[in-house]
Structures are given as C-alpha cells and as structure tokens.
Amino acid sequence: MTMRTVMVYKRFERIWHWCQMALIMTLLVSGFAVRGIHHLVDFRSAVSVHTLAALCLMVLWLFATFWLFTTGDWRHYLPKREGLLQVARYYAWGIFRGEEHPYNKLFWRKHNPLQALAYMLLKVVLFPAIWITGIPYLLYNVWREQAPGWLEPVVWIHVGAAYAILAFVIVHVYLLTTGHSFVAHVKPMVTGYDEVDLTPAEEAYLQESRIVPMK
C-alpha cells in the first residue's frame, strides 16, 4: 500500500456538506427559539426562519440523494462489521492512550466502519424522522380537527430527533479535535484532497485513467 494525496471529496460533496451544516445549525437555533429555550429572535421570526431553512434543506437532500446514487458514492455509507469493534474500541479507549487509529482511509472506502454506521443511522433514521414529523407539524392547522390528539407525539418525536442530531453534531466536532490537528481534519472538506492508502494496481489505474486528480 502507498499513501497518496488524492481528490477524495468532489466539489458538489463539499458544497453539500457546508450548506447542510449551515442549514442544520440554523434549524437548531431557530427550533430552540420556537421551543422557548432562548429568546434571541421572536417566535414569529423563528418559525419563518425554521420553515425556510427546512425547505432549503429538503431541496438540498433531494439533490444530494440523486447525486449519491448516480455517482455510486452511496457505497461509502454502507456499514461493515469488519473492523467495527476495533474502531469503536479505539474511540472508547485507545484514543486516550495515544494508540494509532486502526483504520486507514481508502479511496474506495473513505469512511471507517463506525463513521459509515453513524452516517447511515443519521440518513435513514434521524433525517426521515425529522421530515415525517416536521411536515405534519408545519401543516397542523390542516389536520388538527381530524386528529387533535396526534400533535403531542408528533412534536416529541420531532424534538427528540432534533436533539439526537445535535448530539451527532457535537460528537462530530469533538472528533475533529482528536488525532491530527483540527485544521488537518477540516482541510480535506475544503480542498477535497486527503491522504489515502492505494494498492499498486489502484495507483496505476488512477494515474492512467485520471478520473481524479492526484498529488
């Protein structure tokens, strides 16, 4: 295996990542205002901002889902059992003892098993829970007379999913501060380039095909 610097994160992927981050943070801040947790903005403005950000995020996710399946990059998010326990042990114990990370990033597998599992749960459980409850919550005036008792469970599931996403964001940012420097972790999602392990055959194929830039 050879360590090479390769364009791992494509331009759309980077734009999608940062736009998604900005919209999720906007939704969290405005959602907390709607719940009365803070009073940085008034209730009416918080609802308007929350609704607009939610619609923008929905459009972004539709584009991102289309992109993932047309490019085949959805495969990076499929969790595998191989190496999962080793990575989990590293984050729970080894990282505090200065051990080396047990997973080396690969061009064809840029997420370690624990990352892939976390992203998969985020995309197939938490995000759908937000939308399945958020849309009825938004349209409550349309169906409140038909099912008035459903509002409370809808709200609690929506808020619970939001807190779970907030927990994911906190853990995600915390892990950026471990191992290499914070800048080193964030830089690949800015430039697109990251260091990955390549077999001689993979290196030769990428050099010959030029499907992605290499340094």
Residue 181 pLDDT greater than 80, yes or no: no
The whole-number pLDDT of residue 34 equals 93
**Any idea where the domains of the chain sit in the sequence?**
2-209
CA distance 32 to 127: 18
The whole-number pLDDT of residue 97 equals 85
The whole-number pLDDT of residue 106 equals 80
The whole-number pLDDT of residue 16 equals 94
108-130 average pLDDT score = 90
Contact of 124 with 170, CB cutoff 8 Å: no
Mean pLDDT of the chain: 90
- The model's confidence at residue 215, banded by pLDDT at 50, 70 and 90, is confident
Residue 180 pLDDT greater than 80, yes or no: no
Strands (E), 55-212: 193-198
pLDDT per position as a tens digit, 79-110: 888 889 999 999 888 888 888 888 888 878 88
* Cβ atoms < 10 Å from Cβ of 215: 8
Most confident of 19-28, 67-76, 179-188: 19-28
The whole-number pLDDT of residue 203 equals 84
In one-letter notation, the amino acid at residue 66 is F
Residue 22 pLDDT greater than 80, yes or no: yes
CA distance 141 to 143: 6
Has this prediction a pTM greater than 0.85? yes
The whole-number pLDDT of residue 31 equals 95
CATH class of 2-209: mainly alpha
149-176 average pLDDT score = 92
Tokens of 42: 């008034």
7 beta partners: 193
> What residue spans of the chain are helical by DSSP H?
11-34, 43-71, 84-92, 113-121, 127-138, 140-143, 151-176, 182-186, 188-191, 200-209
CA distance 215 to 211: 13
Residue 1 pLDDT greater than 80, yes or no: no
